[in-house]
Amino acid sequence: MSGMLEGKVAVITGSGRGIGRGIAEMMASRGASVVVNDLGGGIDGEGTDTSPAAEVVDAIKAAGGNAVANGDSVADPAGAQRMVEQALDSFGRVDIVVNNAGILRDRIFHRMSHVDWNAVIDVHLHGCFNVSKAAAGHFKEQGSGSFVHFTSTSGLVGNFGQSNYSAAKMGIVGLSKSIALDMSRYNVRSNCISPFAWSRMIGSIPTDTPEQEARVAKLQQMTPDKIAPLAVWLGSDGAADCTGQIFAVRNNEVFLMSQPRPVRSVHRGEGWTPETIGEHAMPALEKHFYDLDVSIDVFSWDPV
Ligand code: NAI
């Protein structure tokens, strides 16, 4: 077993289940000491349960690794602070923060309540800020550190009924890029992963017809542990030159995702009026408009 993360300490949010659990176990197997944070709530963020985090800690210890459990919420700035302090108290340092915790409150936009909007923004976007902020000073002081944030093609591409989640996940992309820019002078790196994995988050897809059943069987191949190798590498010294990037992982494929750049421009020396925008600018630009794609339109082939 290679010790790619030997001597490093990782805080991994939402690592009691799903993708986070896979990352916690693989980081520990590569020598990292791990704070396994998980609130243990329902998919909508309601309730708490300390057992998922405790179970992951037991599994890591049984495999000979080092881990402690933390049951705080990433949405609580003081809780985020405690996660990082627990890493320092238990293992003496912090090198990697994986912002993976997440919930869903899907609603079609006109039925999206402020409660569902705020709950999702709080856990995803504010949660990423809270935990990153709590670690940033330590990273700066030691002149190193790696942030790995989880985004989604629901934001990067689009999806129905997820305005809260898509907005939060695109916010995380902007946050990650900003951290990468602001902290590169201290050798602190920040990258995003957009995962595809069969977890309880997508486990509610109906299987009422043979077609749906076949689709779900294919999706089930995308096990959460497929995401871990990239997260482990991003936390390692081998990734010293990798920052400000957005990756995606889908079963055995790893993607580098694009970032917005100008696609086409039009110029008119005398400036524009609403009329010339309609007559001149739009005919030139509209061939390059993006379709109203959702994630599955872009990732249109079966997971391989
Ligand atoms: P999951 O529901 O299996 O795991 C998320 C964990 O986060 C849960 O154990 C939950 O208790 C924990 N959590 C929720 N709120 C928390 C809080 N306030 N504080 C601490 N822990 C909290 O979900 P999964 O699929 O493993 O998702 C992990 C990340 O990947 C999420 O950020 C999700 O948005 C993202 N993602 C997942 C996709 C997938 O295909 N599974 C697709 C795109 C993004």
Cβ–ligand 1 contact at 196 (below 6 Å): yes
Average pLDDT of the residues in 56-67:
98
Catalytic residue flag (residue 290): no
Q: Is the pLDDT score of 1 beyond 60?
A: no
Tell which wins on pLDDT, 208 or 295: 295
Residue 81 confidence (pLDDT): 98
Residue for token pair 């490093």: 8
- The pLDDT assigned to 158 comes to 97
Q: Measured in angstroms, how far is the CA atom of residue 39 from the centroid of ligand 1?
A: 11
**Is the CB of residue 23 below 6 angstroms from any atom belonging to ligand 1?**
no
User: What integer is the mean pLDDT of 117-134?
Assistant: 98
* % of the chain with per-residue pLDDT over 90: 91
Q: Looking at ligand 1, which atom is closest to the CA of residue 127?
A: 18
pLDDT of residue 3: 94
Q: How far does the centroid of ligand 1 lie from the alpha carbon of residue 272, in Å?
A: 46
What's the confidence (pLDDT) of residue 299? 95
Ligand 1 centroid to Cα of residue 280, in Å, is 46
Res 265 pLDDT > 70: yes
Kindly state if the Cβ of 73 falls inside 6 Å of ligand 1. yes
Cα 273 to ligand 1 centroid, rounded to whole Å: 47
- Ordered by where they begin, the domains of the chain are 9-256 (3.40.50.720), 262-304 (no CATH)
Report pLDDT for 200.
Answer: 81
Supply the pLDDT for residue 204. Answer: 64
Query: Which is catalytic among the residues 139, 147, 150, 165?
Result: 165
pLDDT tens for each residue of 145-168: 999 999 999 999 999 999 999 999
Q: How far is Cα 33 from Cα 27, in angstroms, rounded to an integer?
A: 8
